[in-house]
């Protein structure tokens, strides 16, 4: 039997049918090598993300090129393996080896180097994006521009900020076009039709089955979104007039308090009916207590500890970046890091003391606790059951940040009564429900781009077709193919698949419902908190410890007792709100 590795230790791409023993030895060697490279790349990437210079960009490109090259060589050795000849564990490892990265380097070393160089370059271009709005003397970064969108109620000012930020992505387009060509080349070399097919193959379904699953989930939740959209459109029209907002069509995308109209919670004060406030605002409470970034993270850590999980290691507090440095460019986009595949856990955030960031921190620590739970698994199983699981864990915890929980940790003196539920649910829906179509359409756009269905001279037009179809949004000013509006969203130049966020938006409610049932909760599930519930922590940790070692239905079943992703949980959570919205929309058009 031909060995799956050459005598030099390099994978042998000609190997087609290794014995079970040979495959096992090959995979053990691959895991050892890739873990070493992962640690090296993670440390370089950390430095680049927290200290952006031309030199760190160069080092980042080099490290990523090496990791992609090596992982691609190992993965491509398994392309023709027959899983029936392998143990179930090794067959799963071989599959995950091929699917472990959002990029597969092309076989050609020159092309592989060019690909990683482009990725580093366009990420850097995004991170350095700035715009000077009218009336400002200096340029502002995305954080500052987003603050204007959150707080302004002047359509002209919001339009200026929205349009200005969307100019920063125009120079990214040329690099992105080439990135698509090289990324597809790498995917084809790894045995896939294109990069989108490779992404869709990692969900324990065929790519075609997964596409149908996703669309089915959207159809389950779309009625709730459309009711919310209709209500918000009417309230915006009342505020800004019918020359700005139509009565029955899609709405200009700059009016929602968010650069991509992916969350609308900052509009709550102008949308809530009289008496429907949630009964509290966490932002001034946190600020009045002089809560600092470390204190914000401590709240989230204590939640996980209350479930029976261990505190974060001391190195977390020594090595994380919790505030924006004053002396250098950094990537402020919040992210959780497992730097060594063991216990070097970190988060990277430029934390503001706000209610929104309070929830984001719980989300990021969900990643860290997942990473630590599966650290005893073999390297290729150190990941979520699928990437939506990884995103959903922290958000499941965030759903338990209820008034009852906030009182338990001393942030509220009294719990608002059930008469405040409408306000709580509306505020939550403006964050969670509003997000669903945007989370879906980003990757639907990329799947069409990667497949060639959408050519470079149609990138922007296709983007806005999808935003109209799924979100009910239109661009506030005419757009052309000189613009590259998808590139104004971090995850596009960063090549971060986005379907995980759509799946997480579904799964977090399914997890929450499952845990509530396991605890015997009999009230409305939006009032349930699993804080200090060790049984919930036991169920959750059983899933976390699996990592990617089992198909995701097994992991889902450990928490919920169910084996299929299901959008009905989000409808159940928001049922009182949906019933109220239907009454509010009786005389108003729904849809666009």
Catalytic residue numbers read 364, 491
Closest-CA residue to 174 (of 434, 487, 422): 487
C-alpha angle with apex 88: 376 to 210, nearest 5 degrees? 90
Distance CA 455, CA 87 (A): 42
Encode 253-316 in three state secondary structure.
HHHCCCCCCCCCHHHHHHHCCCCCCCCCCHHHHHHHCCCCHHHHHHHHHHHHHHCCCCCCCHHH
Query: Which tokens in the block code for residue 27?
Result: 């995979």
Would you give the DSSP letter of residue 5? B
Give whole-number Cα distances, 197 to 74, 189, 351, in Å. 20, 13, 36
Phi, psi of 212 (to 5 degrees): -70, -40
Q: How far apart are CA 467 and CA 445, in angstroms?
A: 10
Q: Report how many helices (DSSP H) and strands (DSSP E) the chain contains, helices first.
A: 23, 4
CB 323 within 8 A of CB 357: no
Question: What is each CA distance from 454 to 31, 450, 502, in whole angstroms?
Answer: 37, 8, 22
The tokens describing 32, both together, are 């050892």
Beta carbons of 184 and 456 less than 8 angstroms apart: no
Query: 82 Cβ partners below 8 Å, 6+ apart?
Result: 17
Half-sphere exposure of residue 302: CA atoms within 13 angstroms, side-chain side: 13
Distance CA(549)–CA(380), nearest Å, equals 8
DSSP 8-state code for residue 103 = -
Beta strand 473-474 pairing with 251-252: parallel
Nearest Cα to 189, choosing from 68, 248, 122, 104?
A: 104
Give the residues across from 471 on adjacent strands: none
**Residues contacting 453, CB < 8 A, separation 6+:** none
Rounded CA-CA distance 495/168 in Å is 17
Residues 127, 331 contacting (CB under 8 angstroms): yes
Task: State the angle between helix axes of 155-165 and 142-151 in degrees (0 to 180), rounded to the nearest 10.
Answer: 160
């Amino acid at each position: 039997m031909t060995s799956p590795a050459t005598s030099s230790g390099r994978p042998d791409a000609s190997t087609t049918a290794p014995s079970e023993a040979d495959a096992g030895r090959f995979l053990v060697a691959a895991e050892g090598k890739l873990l070493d490279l992962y640690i090296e790349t993670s440390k370089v990437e950390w430095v680049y993300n927290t200290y952006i210079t031309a030199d760190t960009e160069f080092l980042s490109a080099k490290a990523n090129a090496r990791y992609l090259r090596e992982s691609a060589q190992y993965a491509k050795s398994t392309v023709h393996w027959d899983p029936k000849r392998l143990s179930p564990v090794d067959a799963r490892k071989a599959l995950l080896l091929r699917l472990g990265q959002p990029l597969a380097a092309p076989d050609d070393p020159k092309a592989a180097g060019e690909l990683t160089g482009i990725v580093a370059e366009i990420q850097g271009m995004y991170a350095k994006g700035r715009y000077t709005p009218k009336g400002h003397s200096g340029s502002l970064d995305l954080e500052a521009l987003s603050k204007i969108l959150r707080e302004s109620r002047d359509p002209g000012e919001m339009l200026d900020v929205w349009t200005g930020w969307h100019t920063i992505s125009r120079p990214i387009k040329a690099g992105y076009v080439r990135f698509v060509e090289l990324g597809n080349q790498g995917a084809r070399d790894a045995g896939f039709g294109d990069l989108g097919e490779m992404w869709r193959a990692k969900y324990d379904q065929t790519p075609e089955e997964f596409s149908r699953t996703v669309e089915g989930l959207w159809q389950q939740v779309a009625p709730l979104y459309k009711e919310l959209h209709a209500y918000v459109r009417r309230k915006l029209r009342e505020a800004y007039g019918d020359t700005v907002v139509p009565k029955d069509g899609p709405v200009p995308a700059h009016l929602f308090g968010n650069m991509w109209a992916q969350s609308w919670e900052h509009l709550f004060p102008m949308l809530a009916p009289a008496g429907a406030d949630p009964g509290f605002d966490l932002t001034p409470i946190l600020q009045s207590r002089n809560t600092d970034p470390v204190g914000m993270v401590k709240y989230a850590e204590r939640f996980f500890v209350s479930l029976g999980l261990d505190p974060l290691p001391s190195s977390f507090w020594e090595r994380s970046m919790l505030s924006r440095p004053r002396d250098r460019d950094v990537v402020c986009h919040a992210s959780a890091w497992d730097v060594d595949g063991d216990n070097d856990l970190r988060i990277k955030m430029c934390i503001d003391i706000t209610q929104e960031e309070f929830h984001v921190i719980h989300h990021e620590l969900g990643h860290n606790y997942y990473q630590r739970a599966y650290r005893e698994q073999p390297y290729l199983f150190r990941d979520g059951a699928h990437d939506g699981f990884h995103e959903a864990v922290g958000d499941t915890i965030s759903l338990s940040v209820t008034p009852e929980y906030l009182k338990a940790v001393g942030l509220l003196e009294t719990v608002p009564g059930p008469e405040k539920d409408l306000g709580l649910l509306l505020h939550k829906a403006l964050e969670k429900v509003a997000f669903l179509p945007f989370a879906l359409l980003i990757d639907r756009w990329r799947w069409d781009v990667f497949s060639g269905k959408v050519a470079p001279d149609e990138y922007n037009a296709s983007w806005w077709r999808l935003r109209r179809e799924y979100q009910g949004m239109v661009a506030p000013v005419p757009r052309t193919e000189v613009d590259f509006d998808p590139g104004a969203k971090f995850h596009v130049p960063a090549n971060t698949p986005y379907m995980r966020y759509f799946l997480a938006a579904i799964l977090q409610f399914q997890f929450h419902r499952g845990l509530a049932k396991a605890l015997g909760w009999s009230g409305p599930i939006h009032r349930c908190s699993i804080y200090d519930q060790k049984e919930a922590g036991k169920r959750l940790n059983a899933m976390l410890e699996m990592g990617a070692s089992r198909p995701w239905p097994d992991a889902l079943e450990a928490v919920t007792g169910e084996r299929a992703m299901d959008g009905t949980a989000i409808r159940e959570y928001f049922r009182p709100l949906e019933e109220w919205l239907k009454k509010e929309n009786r005389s108003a058009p729904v849809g666009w």
